[in-house]
Amino acid sequence: MELPAPLRQGVERLLENVPLQALKQAARTLSDRYRAELRDGRLHMAEDMAVKAYLATRLPATYAAVRASLDALAEARPDFQPRTLLDIGAGPGTMLWATLD
């Protein structure tokens, strides 16, 4: 599933000149923290590279999952017309992007 062009372009700009190996390591660390449900008092995205790892790996997957869910909802309930949305804990507004799309 393709990200909307403005979102994709923004992510690409933020990832320019980021060494791939450093990004891979940061993605592994971030994934390990999520899987372990680590609660050590540090935010999962307390470092710049963790944010970039999220943008490169988790944002596209989260976006695709939300879009698939919304597509299924639209098919099951074509009459459903929400008027508001609260996006909490979905990174940089990933759910909002998917909903707008």
Q: What is the pTM of this model?
A: 0.79
Tokens of 15: 């990832």
Give 64-94 pLDDT, tens digit per residue.
999 999 999 999 999 998 888 887 765 788 8
Contact assessment for residue 53 and residue 26, using Cβ atoms and an 8 Å cutoff: yes
Give 2-39 pLDDT, tens digit per residue.
899 999 999 999 999 999 999 999 889 888 777 777 67
Tokens of 58: 């988790």
Q: Shortest CA distance to 96 belongs to which of 13, 9, 3, 25?
A: 3
The domain limits of the chain are 5-77+84-100
